[in-house]
Amino acid sequence: MKRKKGGSKLPEWAPANADRKFASRIIEGERSAPATNSASLQGNRSRLAWTDVDKLVEGVLSSDRTLLSKAITLIESNSTQHFALAQELVKRLLPYAGKSVRIGITGVPGSGKSTFIETFGSWLISQGNKVAVLAIDPSSTISKGSILGDKTRMEKLSRLDNSYIRPSPSSGVLGGVARKTRETILTCEAAGYDVILVETVGVGQSEVTVRSIVDFFLLLQITGAGDELQGIKKGIMELADLIVINKADGDNKHKAETARAEIAHILNFIAPITSGWKTTAITCSGVEGINIDSIWKIITDFTEQTKVSGIFQQRRMDQQLEWLDSMLTDALLDLLHNDQEVQYTYRQLKQEILSGTNTPALAASILIELFRKNISPVKSGDG
Ligand code: GDP
């Protein structure tokens, strides 16, 4: 361990000029990426192995879950040094990626997402698939608490050989988490996972984010929650390719069927999110495994139809370009935030806006002008 001025500890591989902020970001990155598969918790956790890109590529391609976990840990790291390595890794895996169906699953807490994924994932594996379950949990990025990750989840599924379960990256803003999840999807695909389930909580912006990284989006609804139409209010129904009324078992079967009919009716008035595809509603029980096969049939019909029409490929291409744009926005914002003079002026301008002596539009143009001057001092002096 190196020691920097002020006594803070730095890992051996930190650059010579690294400061305290660098160290704390790396440590957060390492801490943020626990693996849940028991197999991936075993094995050699030597500190440098997960930065050996050759070894990671080889490990991912041979579907070694320990090395897959390490590859994802590298992708999730917040250090700039690891970012370059992670990009090299993903680039080398890219030719082997893309051959899965990416399914987003959302629903309010308690709607039965983990139970459904456990049953659905196990069934898919019994049909010969390899299933990876990833999560995007906005609660963990905002408060460091986690709605999705804190309970012991999907224990049966995690014990199956052909499953891989990874909790949400727990640090960074939603956009950053989405970038990591996209790269994790590609990595899991290169490792041979042909069904990728991306789970998120139905509590905010994260559905829109997940919609932008998956092929098919499934909304789980429940009856008797006091708010029968949990998706309608927040516009989540508009994002869905299929609405599943879950917990349709025992005494709840009849109510679930009534809710399904109501939702099917409402869907007649909502423009489908995927052109050429009609979003429908179906009942299901995650606990009893009812309609699990029918849901898969709907998803395979969807992929077949959209591949024939070209919508499937078009959406993936659009998503790639959206990804580029969001990476650019993030990178530019990062540059702005790292410019101390801009930051100082930004704080001053915020006060001026709040006290009514400046406008947001004028403040933004002052900041951009200052930033341009700082990154290109010579040019800004020219005419
Ligand atoms: P999540 O918060 O959306 O992941 O929901 P969970 O899967 O943790 O389920 C929340 C509660 O609903 C648990 O008590 C489950 O046992 C119960 N539950 C989940 N799926 C079903 C189902 O299909 N039928 C019934 N009756 N209960 C279910």
> Which residue CA neighbors atom 27 of ligand 1 most closely?
247
At 171 the pLDDT is: 59
**Closest ligand 1 atom, residue 199 Cα:** 4
pLDDT at 29 over 50: no
Residue in 106, 115, 152 to alter for ligand 1 test, most ligand atoms within 8 A of Cβ: 115
For the segment 272-297, what is each residue's pLDDT rounded down to a tens digit? 999 999 999 999 999 999 999 999 99
If you measure from the C-alpha of residue 256 to the centroid of ligand 1, how many angstroms do you get, rounded to a whole number? Answer: 14
If you measure from the C-alpha of residue 95 to the centroid of ligand 1, how many angstroms do you get, rounded to a whole number? Answer: 38
If you measure from the C-alpha of residue 147 to the centroid of ligand 1, how many angstroms do you get, rounded to a whole number? Answer: 14
pLDDT at 24 over 70: no
344 alpha carbon, distance to own chain's centre:
33
The region, left, alpha or beta by phi > 0 then psi within -120 to 50, assigned to residue 186 is: alpha
pLDDT bin (cut points 50, 70, 90) of residue 233 is low
Least confident of 61-75, 160-174, 209-223, 320-334: 160-174
DSSP 149-183: TSS---HHHHHSTTEEE-PPP-SS-HHHHHHHHHH
Residues in contact with ligand 1 (CB, 6 Å cut-off): 107, 109-115, 246-247, 249, 285-287
If you measure from the C-alpha of residue 137 to the centroid of ligand 1, how many angstroms do you get, rounded to a whole number? Answer: 18
At 378 the pLDDT is: 61
At 80 the pLDDT is: 79
pLDDT at 61 over 90: yes
If you measure from the C-alpha of residue 176 to the centroid of ligand 1, how many angstroms do you get, rounded to a whole number? Answer: 30
In angstroms, rounded to a whole number, what is the distance separating the alpha carbons of residues 209 and 215? 12
pTM for this predicted structure = 0.80
Alpha helices in 100-237 (DSSP H): 113-126, 138-142, 155-159, 174-190, 206-211, 230-233
At 3 the pLDDT is: 44
- Mean pLDDT score of the chain, rounded to an integer? 82
In angstroms, rounded to a whole number, what is the distance separating the alpha carbons of residues 122 and 289? 10
For the segment 31-44, what is each residue's pLDDT rounded down to a tens digit? 333 333 333 333 44
For the segment 131-179, what is each residue's pLDDT rounded down to a tens digit? 999 988 776 555 555 556 544 578 889 899 999 999 877 656 666 778 8
